[in-house]
Chains A and B, each alone.
Chain A
Amino acid sequence: MTKGTKTIKNKELFVGLVFSLIFLVIAGRAVQLHVIQTKWLTAKAESQYNKYLVTCGKRGTIYDANLKELAVSLEVMSIGAFPGRMEDISQNGKKMAKILGLNSKKLTKTLKSGKSFVWVKRKVAPNDVEKIKNLDVKGLEFIPEHNRFYPNMGLAAQVIGFTGTDEKGLEGLEFQYNRELEAASDKFIVTKDALGRRFNSSGSSVTGFSGNDLVLTIDKRIQFIAENALKEASEEFQAVSGTAVVMQPDTGALLAVAHFPEFNPNIFKQYDRNVWRNRAVTDPFEPGSTLKVFLAAAAIESNVCTPNSIFFCENGTYRIGRNKVNDTHPYQWLSLQQIVKFSSNIGAVKVSEITGKKLLYKTLTNFGFGKQTGIDCPGETSGILSNYNTWSSIDTGAISFGQGISVSAVQLLAGVSAIANGGKLVKPYIVKSIISPDGTIVRECGKTKGRQVISPETAEKIKVIMSTVVTDGGTGVNAALSRYTVCGKTGTAQKIDKGGSYSNDQFTASFVGFAPQQHPAVAVLVILDDPKVNHYGGVVAAPAFKQIVHETLNYLNVEPETDSNDETILLAQRIEAKR
């Protein structure tokens, strides 16, 4: 072997050793990556291909008392895209934008943004979804979502409320019962490839958990009756707003809660937020003369007087210190019954004077004024009833005819219902039951025991007094029904103007009552806020009250008390006339 050959062999050996050394470095790097950095790198890797997927079940349905749908969640499709899988993005983007009514440039830009997933459009109409599906574009994902829908539009909208885009309750029962209605969302890990496709579906299902359904005491039909009557009256008398509430007196179940003006919860954003509220619960108002029935209850229950005790009504003007109390019509001597029937303010003041503010206050608080009823609606007002210690004599007088005190519609109607109910006050409620998706009853509501606030005898006496209100000469004749005896009371309250004093041209007109007298099936309150054409409760609110009671009793098939012969003849004549 030559010297040259030998050096060449040595150099070959040397090169082999160098490569062995490089291999050692690679092996060392492998140990570093596989063993030392494995935790860190594994976490990094998993964060890439493990995606957290949140699936949400269906939000509970809100039903009326007869299981008619008031609020439902409908499945809608949202269209997402994995641009990495999409071919010819510009062309497809253009086509999709056209169908979906999107800006084509914007969509193409979104698709080309380099993100692994983008939304094309959320909550797409079903026929548009079909069109997009027909395009057969690769990389599109159709993701079911839910959209809240109110099939009856404005019906009971203020009671039901609405949800936001993420299906969270924002107003009304949707808000109050959000936790019950809300669908459970399930978060789980899915392993996805870089194009966003799931390749490991083991152990995870996409079915979410639906929320519980609500069954309301609201009857869609009665609600419609109330809304209809309220709307007609509000428009006729040009009221700024109106509220009508229908309650079952013996249970406190609200059969209807109507508001004017109405709004469509499906597009709630297009309405002024002031109309969203369930004002029957949230807004206090000065009740006016309707409060006289509670004054009468205080006087009779405490044996201060009887319905026939008479009071001098000062011929229409009565001074209390520096203040003057006026009656619309001057009266001389009126019995307690007549004071209510004719709605004499002076008479009411006289009654309150002999009853005393302490007893009046006690009776009013007993009937639930000044306190929340505890109804299951959000934002309930307690009204304002200050302690009797702070009342001056004019305060006492004013409260006796319903000024200087504020109540909520539901509060007032609950109080009147107590009279209808033999003196037993029950808590008003609006959700009858909560039902789980599998049909079992989660909670049954409205089983609260009533509280006796006045004796049944007193209640009976008040009922008789109230029944005279709708008889000839009473303020509430417009509320009288031919086949049922109606008990009621008008209310015409001066509103407080911006200056803080009582206005002479802004009124709250109301009528509250129940029927039939013997076994009251419904108690109804109609309030019209600031009517322009006329402001007397007996003129403005009583006809609407009558209409609601009449139609509701018909609908409920309540047996008429009076002989129906006259009615039948009348009906026969009407049919004849039509021919």
Chain B
Amino acid sequence: MSIICFTGSIVVECVVIIRHSDLFIFCLFFLSIETTRSLTPADPNRPDASTLNLDIPFINDEDRPTTGLVMHSADDEENFNRNAGSTIWKLNIVLILISCWVAASLTGWGFISGGINSSGEHTAANPLVGKFNMAMIAVSQNVAVLLYMWTLLAPRLFPDREFA
């Protein structure tokens, strides 16, 4: 009986945890995957099930007779690998950073500390509250403002240089 209670409480705990944060992570994960996937064009070599002609035997591409409309150029994939494809790995790096950022922002940068009331006593904890979290965000605000100021001032201070 106690085992049932124990597993039951774990299930409840899981539901609580998932309700709190993991849903966001899963949503973000799938959305980010959809973003990368939607950036890549469909494979021209893959046969579409609805247009597949079973009368033609499955033979090598070189031996297959040429039929149908020309929809893509043959070097589509090569083009992709050479151009847009060369930056896809950078996007994956950004996605690593995003995973880490989600973890950091949901856990208050991993620092666990409760709130304090006026007499310095411990009060209810909020997972997102904390001095460190506050400082991080305040710094990032000033970085944003300074970055923008720099985009305005840089061409004025260095008129000879080119800023794209």
Co-complex (A, B)? no
Chain B residues within CB distance 8 Å of chain A: none
